[in-house]
Amino acid sequence: MLQGSGNTRAATGKRQRPGSSPDFNPAEDLGAIIKDRVEDRMLNEKGRGRYSRHTLLSNLQTVLHDLEHDSKLFAELLLSFQHRLDAVVAAAGGHTDY
């Protein structure tokens, strides 16, 4: 991670990048999206079997199938990398909103 005052230029003039950060991983956002969508579907379930394993798996399968065709979401997640990088650099490797 970057240390110091958050300077993003090395002595060579090249931009430094933090070594690793969960903020760089759009898969974490995708996991949260899947969880939220499945949870929303589960909360809307009615009847006796609404908390069953079968219902959970059915809702998960539906959400994953819907995501398969959501190329806009995947593009947005992948294209957000530069914003993620800038946020981590600005936070000197600390906490960001991603």
What's the confidence (pLDDT) of residue 19? Answer: 57
pLDDT at 9 over 70: no
Name the band, by pLDDT with cuts 50, 70 and 90, for residue 33: very high
pLDDT of residue 3: 41
pTM: predicted TM-score of the whole model, two decimal places? 0.64
Mean pLDDT of 24-50: 90
Domain ranges in the chain? 25-90
How large is the angle between the packed helices 71-79 and 26-43, nearest 10 degrees? 140
Q: How far is CA 40 from CA 32, 34, 67, in A?
A: 12, 10, 15
pLDDT given for residue 87 in this prediction: 82
Q: 42 pLDDT exceeds 90? A: yes
pLDDT at position 16 is 58
